[in-house]
Amino acid sequence: MSGSNVWSRSREKIRLFPELFAQCTGEAAVYGKCVAATTTGRQELKKDLCAKEFEALKTCFISAVSDTKVQHVLKC
C-alpha cells in the first residue's frame, strides 16, 4: 500500500466534512446549546447529560454519509 494513497484518502475525507456537517447544522446547534447550558460557570460536562442531542447529531452524520457517493469515498 502506498503511503501517498493513504494521505489522499484522508484528505478526501477531511475535504468532505464541511459538506456533511452542513447537512446537520440544526442538530449541531441543539447539541452545542445543550453543552453550553450544562457547563455554565465552572461546571464540567458530565457523561450522558446531552446524550439525546448527541445521538441526534450522530444519526444525522450517519445519514449524511450514507449517500452512496460519499460512502464510496469514505470506504476507499
pLDDT one-digit tens code per residue, 4-63: 677 777 787 788 888 888 999 999 999 999 999 998 888 888 889 999 999 999 999 888
List CB contacts of 16: < 8 A, sequence separation 6 or more.
70, 73, 74
Q: 0.75 cut: is pTM over it?
A: no
Checking if the pLDDT of 67 tops 80, the result is no
DSSP 67: S
For the CA atoms of 41, 47, 48, 54, the dihedral, rounded to the nearest 10 degrees, stands at 80
